[in-house]
């Protein structure tokens, strides 16, 4: 590449122009940290993008893949992404440790996770002294799995944990035969069932007192570019509304298949499942969602040092109209 040396006065003017352009771009661009290479939790994002809602509102949204929820939260705190989407455990821990982030919207309320096991495993009791794969040692999937295990008479300490941050990786481990059971997210739950793996339970039947996923935001970015945050959240809500119109089922399925390379039949089953679950709430209000309940769980486990008061974890001014 050829480099050109400009006179100081010219280079100064050019720098000023680029600074203005950079500011304008930052106001329009929204970078969202996401675990893996795409999944159904972001269905309304894919819908809003495909239908042009974000473009109409004046924002350019990009999902940035990360290996785990913890990694996504670290990128958010560092300002490498503007928002992230995922379980609430990592944002709560990060905020407790002083990270400059806040939770701004519930994405999915009830948990869509289900535990699937190898074909010779018929119950949770059969998992004693077996290897189970969850998302991470402090991942939300551990809370869901252990709630189900205890309710079914299995002490989680009787299993051996291994970890993988994405459903794709956990499904691959199950089908390879390297683990006895794992916790999966649609549409991989339908794929596992279709291939004859045994469904041991759904987390929504056991854990009901806190939300599944949320959007968290970098505070500095949110304060500097509040209009972009507002527009993104509005586009997401429009995507939620469109999803629940059953006349849009096939188009919605096609969008997720394109975004995640998932199987069309499994994705169609996932559409029906998420409708029955009413996974996404249009407004996604954090207050009253049960975030503080999960903070209390983390506190009891020794993972939070400070208060579990919800006011520590949210900043209503970031989304106030």
Phi-psi region of 138 (alpha: psi -120 to 50; beta: other; left: phi over 0): alpha
Q: Kindly indicate the confidence band of residue 133, based on its pLDDT and cuts at 50, 70 and 90.
A: very high
Entry field: residues in the chain: 321
Q: What is the pLDDT of residue 27?
A: 59
- Listed residues 158, 189, 205: the one ending a domain: 205
Q: Kindly indicate the confidence band of residue 58, based on its pLDDT and cuts at 50, 70 and 90.
A: very high
Q: Is the pLDDT of residue 35 over 90?
A: no
Q: Is the pLDDT of residue 25 over 70?
A: no
Q: Is the pLDDT of residue 18 over 90?
A: no
Q: Is the pLDDT of residue 3 over 70?
A: no
The residue to which tokens 């290996």 are assigned: 67
Specify whether the CB–CB gap between 295 and 310 falls below 8 A.
yes
Number of domains, the chain = 2
What predicted TM-score, i.e. pTM, was given to this entire model?
A: 0.80
Q: What is the pLDDT of residue 165?
A: 81
Strand ranges for the chain from DSSP E = 29-35, 60-66, 83-87, 101-108, 114-117, 131-134, 160-163, 181-184, 198-202, 213-218
Whether 3 is covered by a domain: the verdict is no
Per-residue burial over 56-65, b if 16 or more Cβ lie within 10 Å, else e, is ebebebebee
Whether 100 is covered by a domain: the verdict is yes
DSSP state of 312: G
Same domain, 92 and 127: no
Q: How far apart are CA 131 and CA 162, in angstroms?
A: 7
The residue to which tokens 């944002």 are assigned: 91
Q: Cα-Cα-Cα-Cα dihedral of 39, 263, 114, 310, to 10°?
A: 20
Average the pLDDT over 84-90 and give the result: 91
Average the pLDDT over 278-287 and give the result: 94
Q: Which domain holds residue 154?
A: 114-205
Average the pLDDT over 287-294 and give the result: 92
């Amino acid at each position: 590449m050829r480099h050109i040396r400009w006179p100081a006065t010219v280079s100064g003017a050019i720098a000023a122009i680029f600074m203005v352009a950079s500011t304008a771009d930052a106001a329009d661009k929204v970078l969202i940290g996401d675990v893996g290479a795409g999944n159904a939790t972001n269905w309304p994002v894919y819908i809003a993008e495909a239908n042009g809602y974000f473009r109409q509102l004046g924002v350019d949204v990009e999902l940035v893949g990360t290996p785990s929820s913890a990694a996504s939260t670290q990128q958010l705190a560092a300002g490498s992404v503007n928002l992230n989407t995922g379980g609430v455990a990592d944002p709560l821990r990060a905020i407790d440790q002083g990270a400059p982030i806040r939770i701004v919207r519930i994405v999915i309320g009830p948990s869509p996770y289900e535990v699937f096991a190898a074909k010779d495993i018929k119950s949770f009791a059969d998992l004693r002294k077996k290897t189970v794969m969850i998302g991470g040692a402090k991942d939300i999937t551990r809370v869901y799995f252990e709630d189900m295990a205890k309710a079914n008479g299995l002490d989680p300490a009787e299993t051996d944990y291994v970890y993988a941050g994405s459903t794709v990786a956990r499904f691959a481990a199950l089908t390879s035969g390297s683990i006895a059971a794992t916790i999966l997210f649609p549409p991989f739950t339908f794929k596992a069932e279709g291939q004859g793996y045994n469904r041991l339970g759904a987390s929504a039947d056991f854990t009901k007192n806190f939300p599944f996923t949320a959007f968290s935001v970098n505070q500095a970015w949110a304060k500097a570019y509040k209009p972009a945050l507002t527009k993104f959240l509005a586009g997401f809500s429009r995507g939620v509304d469109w999803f629940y119109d059953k006349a849009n089922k096939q188009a919605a399925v096609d969008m997720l298949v394109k975004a995640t390379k998932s199987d069309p039949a499994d994705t169609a089953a996932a559409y029906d499942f998420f409708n029955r679950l009413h996974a996404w709430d249009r407004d996604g209000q954090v207050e009253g969602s049960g975030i503080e309940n999960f903070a209390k769980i983390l506190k009891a486990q020794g993972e939070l040092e400070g208060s579990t008061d919800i006011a520590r974890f949210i900043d209503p001014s970031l989304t106030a109209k």
